[in-house]
Amino acid sequence: MKNRFAQYHSPLEQSLKHSIAYLESLDDREVIKGATSQELRELIGGPLPLHSADPVQVIDDLVKNVDKGLLASGGPRFFGYAIGGSFPASLAADWMVSAWDQNVPYYVGSPAMSVVEETAAEWMVELLGLTKGSAVGFTSGAQEAIYTGLITARNTLLHRAGWDAARKGLYGAPRINVVASDEIHSTIKRALSMIGVGLEDVIKVPTDDNLRIIPEEVSKVVASCKGPTLICAQAGCIDSGAFDPFDELADIVEEHGNAWLHVDGAIGLWAAASDKQKHRLKGIERADSIDTDGHKWFNMPYDCGMIIVKDPATIISAMGGNNMGDYLNDAMAKPDRNAINFGIAASRRARGVPVYAAFKSLGKEGIVSHLDNSCDLAKRMADKLAEVDGITILNDVVSNRFSAQFGHGDQAYRDDLTERVVHRLQDEGYLYPSTSSYKGLKTMLFSVLNCHTDTNDIDLSAEKIINAYLTEVSRDK
């Protein structure tokens, strides 16, 4: 009898061939090729197909037509935003996730994937030195993880205040105070707006010169907060890599009586694995909830985020896993891990599998080596740039990222020059930093996250950055 699944053989083989060719091109490929959106529409779009086509030809055409619009963000000289590459075993495991095509929120949907994710979660908690038994949910990214964590915080804080948000909703509920730094990330604000906590009521606390929240200011604010209070902190500020003082913040939470500490660790949480770096995260295990991304510093394929909650009962209650249809009663009654208890998705791929593969292939030693190397390379770049008159590194380089500004003169000129330098570098295509801001200044954000970046990439990129700066300055004379 003919195997009906043999039809997958040729398109998958072709996909493998193209994938390897693309990955091997990343060393020399321009980071961005600059195709316009209209050019891409002409290549990719067109009328709705009415007839079937050979899958191999579909793959060939797809690869050819998207090429000019791909950003080589998986390459060793992509330093913008907060985008990492992929560990080889994790990418390969992710391909298997697609082939297996399992739905993992319920143990009965895939016993094997459930145990893989359970194991990856336990290893992650151990690697980061967090509270044993903490709940871990695998999400699409830090945004979903934050959303999940803040729903858990909201419901728990209201429950302590005598209000059942799941049953009564939010009309008439006690107001939740929110305290965050003036460097609060947009993902926190988006999540707050989605869970019914008004952004106008967020109390912003000042940060120091390295964008680290000032605990004495938090203490003053929280002392005046009556009722449920949510404190948001950061492990790895987007623009400076700085870590907030978690021990001091946890003390403030404990003194309040009904407060919750959420830490946005989208980028920097992984530093807790390193003996060289973990002192900067002292007290992180005391946080009530923490979000992080795998597809940033941990080099997972997109998409992969995690929410970690110290008390599993709180997230299980908030996610409403018991409010399932009758057809799922048997599934929920199983004693094994049902991932729907740790996230909002009722259907999703097994995002924990690439994480498991990274732990197995690298071990703690390999993971820590990658983390420490990223920090060393960021410091190397910052030191090289700081030697040049007119290039200012704005923060202490304590992690894998820093912000820089170019030029002398008034702020308006420096802001404009910095933007021009970054755009020149992006257009040249050898490396890709991005723009951001630092206490109101326009900056170049430089982030080292990719496991393939080495000293040669840093040194050649430093030359390109310095040359771009000098070229732009010479135009202004």
**pLDDT of 309-328, one tens digit each?**
999 999 999 998 666 666 67
Mean pLDDT of the region 115-144? 98
Distances (CA, A) of 105 to 120, 147, 348: 15, 18, 7
* pLDDT digits 0-9 by tens, 146-157: 999 999 999 999
Distance, in Å, from the CA atom of 388 to the CA atom of 467, rounded to the nearest integer, reads 11
d(CA 315, CA 153): 8
Please name which of 64, 60, 66, 76 lies closest in space to residue 37, comparing C-alpha atoms.
66
pTM of this structure: 0.96
Instruction: State residue 28's pLDDT score.
Output: 93
Across the chain, mean pLDDT equals 96
Per-residue confidence (pLDDT) for residue 91, from 0 to 100: 98
Read off the pLDDT of each residue in 160-185 and give the average, rounded to a whole number.
95
Indicate whether 63 pLDDT > 70: yes
Q: Taking a C-beta distance cutoff of 8 angstroms, is the pair 72, 93 a contact?
A: no
Burial of 418 (0-12, 13-18, 19+ CB in 10 A): buried
- The predicted model gives 400-419 an average pLDDT of 98
